[in-house]
Structure 1
Amino acid sequence: MERPLLVYTTFPDLASALNIGEALVRERLVACINVLPGMHSVYSWQGTVARGEEVAAILKSREGLADALSAALKARHPYETPIILHLPVAGADADTAAWILAETGAGASNGSPVQEA
């Protein structure tokens, strides 16, 4: 069975994260996006240390979609160089893994989706 994949990224605001996330869900590149607003960042960019407010996002997908998901994120992302980190999943609850795989087109759905909070 193909393993789930988590992808971490950031966005400049809640609206762009939700809009891009919804498009990726509709395209079945991700089963879900969790958006965490209110993040404060300190980062180095083009030789300058800067501060800013961002939102963090965790996308739930599968390993086989890593390249396609990265390309889709880059194509839509408002940042010149978006942060896209693939976080391989060492283990997952069987029902959670099956739901992610089913929602991203890899496997049959059992008809009972996992409720996201």
Structure 2
Amino acid sequence: MHSTIARGRITAIDTAAALAVPGVLTVLTHENAPPMKKPPKPTPLNLASLASGTRVNYLNTDEVFWNGQPIAVVVATRSKGAREAASLVRAEYAVAKSTVDFKAAQETPNPSRTA
């Protein structure tokens, strides 16, 4: 399941219908996902650490950063059941103003969003 808003917070997420699909083992959301390991600090001694990535643990926060951001992951025994279940997950949002103009955003940068 992916977000349908560009910016905001998830206020409610309903996975009951998805969990009822045969073969579905669980649905991971910000409410039950285990904490993700933070990426290593970049170092030339560990080339894997130089690959681009993100420090935002999407399934560990109710915050939505972009339209299409993963907000739920269905774990199932069959991919067909997982796809069906994902279509049944319902989310409600508190929509926030999104920045869509790079030039305007450049004038008021927020460095805390890059960490």
Query: Do they fold alike, i.e. is TM over 0.5?
Result: no
- Which structure: greater helix fraction? 1
Which of 1 and 2 has greater Rg? 2
**Structure 1 length-normalised TM:** 0.28
More strand by share: 1
Q: What is the TM-score with the length of structure 2 in the denominator?
A: 0.29
